Amino acid sequence: MEDVAEFCADLSGRIRIADNPDLQFYAASTMKVPVMIALFRRYDAGRLDLEQPVRVTSTFTSVHDGSPFRIDAEDEDEELVAAENEERSVRALIERMITLSSNNATNLVLELVDLAEVQAAVTDLGASNTVIVRPIGDKAAGAAGVHNVVTARDLVAIMTAIATERAASPASCRDMLAILTRQRHREGIASGLPADVRSASKGGWVTRLRHDVALIWPPTGNPYCHAICTRGLQDAAALAAIRDRTAAAYATYGRPT
């Protein structure tokens, strides 16, 4: 089965595109943005020091049965695997989690924040069809039917909350936005935009599944947020669909209104 969902809205909430916007998809690495929000909210509350050291490990605990697991070798962050028992700051791990989509960094910071806090954050931001219930690579949980899910509409709601400084404190939202702007994986929405257009994004991908969500600041138009989710397509076809839809939306909405 092949599915594509798309949602696009400006930062005031005015809907531009809504194509299957509430269709649920496995979240893949898009769940890392809610994790980041929950961490910064904990920091805002004085319950977390972003500079505190975290001991690096490659073994994590399943939320399903408490069993230890490792992320599949092809999905591991090789640099963090090589740094076993060394220390990295929370801030450095958040940076890797978002800009490099590090699965190991994600699971390390999830040991500092409850998944319930992550879920509460997205629910509070109006992402009513998003579910964040397990770490990356937790096969025991996945086999038991425990999955992280998102929708295109919810991805836009979450990112827009950061851009409009509602996701956490204004200072923390600015920090998160700066991290998202440093995104290294730019083969999705960013590649469908003109080279001079600023964007801040986070994608997610596994076999036959590819998503991307981006905040976009046209040089002369109003800023907006665009999310595209796909499943059932080969990766090249999924990326082509994302680029084509991005370019079509920008041609329409990337100009002054």
Distance from C-alpha of 135 to C-alpha of 59, rounded to nearest angstrom: 12
3-state secondary structure (DSSP) of residue 207: coil
Q: Is the pTM of this model over 0.75?
A: yes
> What is the structure's pLDDT at 256?
66
Please give the domain boundaries of the chain with CATH numbers for all domains: 3-253 (3.40.710.10)
Name, in order, each residue with C-beta under 8 angstroms of 83's C-beta and a sequence gap of 6 or more.
56
> What is the structure's pLDDT at 1?
76
> What is the structure's pLDDT at 221?
83
Sign of CA dihedral 145, 129, 155, 164: negative
Work out the angle at residue 117's Cα, subtended by the Cα atoms of residues 112 and 120, and round it to the nearest 5 degrees.
165
> What is the structure's pLDDT at 157?
98
Give mean pLDDT in consecutive 10-residue pieces for the chain, a chain of 257 residues.
95 97 98 98 98 98 97 97 98 98 98 96 97 98 97 98 98 98 98 96 98 96 96 98 97 79
Distance from C-alpha of 82 to C-alpha of 108, rounded to nearest angstrom: 14
CB-CB contact of 113 with 36 (8 Å): no
> What is the structure's pLDDT at 220?
86
> What is the structure's pLDDT at 255?
74
**H or E element that contains 224:** strand 224-231
